[in-house]
Copies of this chain bind each other. A is one copy, B any other.
Amino acid sequence: MTTPSDGLGAGSPAPVLDRAACVRLDDADPLRSLRDEFLLPPGTIYLDGNSLGARPTGAAERAQEVIAEEWGTGLIRSWNDAGWFDLPAKLGEKVAGIVGGGAGTTVVTDTTSINLFKVASAACRIQAADAPERSVILTQRENFPSDIYMLEGLVEQLGDGYEVRLVDDAEVAAGFPNALTDEVAVVVLTHVNYRTGRLFDMAETTAAIHAGGALAIWDLCHSAGALEVDLAGAGADMAVGCTYKFLNGGPGSPAFVWVSEALQTRFSQPLSGWWGHRQPFEMEPSYTPADGIRRYLTGTQGILSMSVAEVGLDVFGRVDMADVRAKSLALSDLFIELVDARLSHHPVEVVTPREHAARGSQVSITHPEGFAVMSALITRGIIGDYREPEVLRFGLTPLYVGYADVWDTVEALREILDDRLWDVPQHKVRGAVT
């Protein structure tokens, strides 16, 4: 069976699959019903859920409840009666369930960058007590830049010879044969590279970090909700991540912070605001940290953003992350297979690892005119994004992306490249692309 969009461009090799086969895969998809949990504009294929997750169906109603009932009618009483004050811990439990954190280990609060500052500070304090000669924070050169910037800000604040040292992904993947010297106090790693989609093995890498005498902090921005994460099982020390990508919490929804039970109360973190105080309403004149993970809270949280984020998290209460991961890999396998089969006559390169164990939930390809190509694609209602240099990113979010979506995307790419549809002025104007 063929459809009009099944037609091959001149010189294309035969496809390994056709669109009808993709539709059949969608029909058999056990996660298919979850598509109804999200509202996407008609005619849109949304492959940017790795940057901003789609809107859950229940988000608007939840916002109305918070505004009309909790804020409007409950007013100040809602801090207690509507449970506002407990939202960071309540949502934290839900995130913990998704990333293998365990009970009482996670709070949802603030931003990923700020939470990284908190855990990296605490980790440095722990090491200052246990191994005071260690003053290097190691992180990926290709880490999301904000993580590096925050660590730069921290070491400047700390002084005392603290420094940030950057390592290549190959060094990390090889278990740190060179970089993990006895100067290293803390290693901060993003679990899945934001540009390439490369996934690092959390358990193996953490073991290598511990063997080298350092603490392991993981940034889960591109893995929480995207694949199976087992923080406790991997022996990780601390972790941070956002809720607005694969967890579909809404634009800029609050981040999370996780600290292992063993380290949770060893030191407090420097952003020691009243929400992290043992008795916040006693108005004591000096800080005493809360006993558990609540000490990683700081100030009053944006309740509207937080409440709507819960709607996104609740979808994960109805899915098995093993199913999510299986579909994610099937989607990215299909994407790569189609790129190989149908775009090989163009200067396109797949930069996402082909090995499952090293692949997150996105496919990134490069093209010398990547920006214009992505712009042309977006004009057709297929939304991915672009990252310097030359990288077109396609997030594959199994809750609302299907196999036919992948087929249609690669087919649109082929037409845009074959017909040089990107090569018009309108697709070359660069604004601030997020």
Does A254 count as interface, using CB distance less than 8 angstroms? yes
| Interface stretch of the complex, out of A95-103, A140-148, A182-190 | A140-148
Please pick, from B46, B113, B272, the residue contacting A299 in the complex, using a CB distance under 8 A: B113
Interface code A242-254, partner B: CB below 8 Å = 1, 0 otherwise? 1010000011111
Does A352 count as interface, using CB distance less than 8 angstroms? no
> Known contacts being A77-B383, A298-B113, A304-B63, is A149 close to B432, with CB within 8 Å?
no
> Known contacts being A72-B41, A157-B157, is A149 close to B302, with CB within 8 Å?
no
Please pick, from B48, B70, B156, B286, the residue contacting A251 in the complex, using a CB distance under 8 A: B70
| Interface stretch of the complex, out of A158-166, A342-350, A361-369, A416-424 | A158-166
Q: Are A80 and B148 in contact (CB under 8 A)?
A: no
Does A85 count as interface, using CB distance less than 8 angstroms? yes
Q: Which residues of B contact A85 (CB under 8 A)?
A: 432, 434
Q: Which residues of chain A in 49-90 are interfacial with respect to chain B, using CB atoms and an 8 Å cutoff?
A: 51-52, 54-55, 59-60, 63-64, 66-68, 70-73, 75-80, 84-85
Does A339 count as interface, using CB distance less than 8 angstroms? no
Complex formed: what's the CA distance from A303 to B253 in Å? 7
Does A274 count as interface, using CB distance less than 8 angstroms? yes
Q: Which residues of B contact A433 (CB under 8 A)?
A: 80, 281
Does A284 count as interface, using CB distance less than 8 angstroms? yes
Does A332 count as interface, using CB distance less than 8 angstroms? no
Does A293 count as interface, using CB distance less than 8 angstroms? no
> Known contacts being A157-B157, A385-B76, is A272 close to B150, with CB within 8 Å?
yes
Q: Are B299 and A308 in contact (CB under 8 A)?
A: no
Interface code A26-58, partner B: CB below 8 Å = 1, 0 otherwise? 000000000000011100101010011011000
| Residue picked from A48, A244, A302, A308, most chain B C-beta under 10 Å | A302
Q: Are A153 and B304 in contact (CB under 8 A)?
A: no
Q: Which residues of B contact A273 (CB under 8 A)?
A: 111, 113-114, 146, 149-150, 153
Q: Are B282 and A388 in contact (CB under 8 A)?
A: yes
Does A301 count as interface, using CB distance less than 8 angstroms? yes
Please pick, from B156, B281, B301, the residue contacting A111 in the complex, using a CB distance under 8 A: B301
Does A220 count as interface, using CB distance less than 8 angstroms? no
Q: Which residues of B contact A306 (CB under 8 A)?
A: 252, 302
Q: Which residues of B contact A67 (CB under 8 A)?
A: 55, 59-60, 63, 250, 308
Please pick, from B60, B114, B251, the residue contacting A114 in the complex, using a CB distance under 8 A: B114
Interface code A267-290, partner B: CB below 8 Å = 1, 0 otherwise? 011111111110001111111000
From residue A264, how far is it (CB to closest CB) to chain B in Å? 17
Interface of A with B (CB < 8 Å)? Answer: 39-41, 44, 46, 48, 51-52, 54-55, 59-60, 63-64, 66-68, 70-73, 75-80, 84-85, 110-114, 117, 121, 141, 144-146, 148-150, 152-154, 156-160, 166, 242, 244, 250-255, 268-277, 281-287, 298-306, 308, 378, 383, 385, 387-388, 431-434
23 contacts between A and B (CB under 8 A): A60-B68, A63-B304, A70-B251, A71-B251, A77-B378, A79-B251, A79-B432, A80-B433, A84-B252, A110-B110, A113-B299, A145-B274, A145-B284, A146-B273, A146-B274, A150-B298, A153-B273, A250-B303, A251-B302, A252-B304, A281-B434, A302-B306, A305-B305
